């Protein structure tokens, strides 16, 4: 069965620090990969996604992620975080062309950015 691992459950950074959140998945076939973000009091929203093509994907608010197939990884990065990036971040995967587009989520990483 597919699964997603997020290595960091809680991350605390100061503003302007660089961010990298790890995500690994287990699935032998072709996958689609996602990062979702949930800001305090708000609903889940898509940050970025990878379906195919360039493995370096750019998303909203200066975030990017790199798909490394050999490592089954899809790490999220941002060169300089802001206080407003405080949120919970979820990595998700689905099996490409499965019967349904059900997303398998990791357990999430809670990021706190200190001003």
Compute the least distance from the CB of residue 16 to another protein, in Å. Answer: 29
Name the residue nearer to another protein (CB basis): 23 or 113.
Answer: 23
Which residues are CB-contacts of 111 (< 8 A; sequence separation ≥ 6)? 11, 12, 13, 19, 21, 81, 85, 86, 87, 88, 89
Name the residue nearer to another protein (CB basis): 36 or 67.
Answer: 36
CA dist 63 and 13 (Å) reads 16
Name the residue nearer to another protein (CB basis): 36 or 63.
Answer: 36
Bridge pairing between strands 10-14 and 109-114: parallel
Interface contacts to another protein, rule CB under 8 A: 4, 36, 42-46, 49, 90, 92, 99-108
Compute the least distance from the CB of residue 69 to another protein, in Å. Answer: 20
Nearest to 39 by CA among 92, 87, 91: 87
Compute the least distance from the CB of residue 45 to another protein, in Å. Answer: 7
């Amino acid at each position: 069965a597919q699964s997603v691992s997020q290595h960091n459950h809680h991350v605390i950074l100061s503003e302007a620090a660089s961010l990298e959140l790890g995500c690994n998945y287990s699935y032998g076939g072709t996958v689609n990969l996602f990062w979702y973000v949930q800001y305090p009091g708000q609903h889940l929203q898509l940050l970025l996604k990878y379906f195919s093509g360039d493995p370096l994907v750019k998303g909203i608010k200066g975030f990017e992620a790199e798909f490394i197939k050999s490592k089954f990884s899809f790490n999220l990065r941002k060169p300089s975080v802001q206080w407003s990036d405080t949120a919970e971040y979820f990595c998700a995967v689905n099996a490409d062309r499965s019967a349904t587009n059900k997303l398998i989520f990791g357990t999430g990483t809670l990021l706190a950015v200190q001003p």
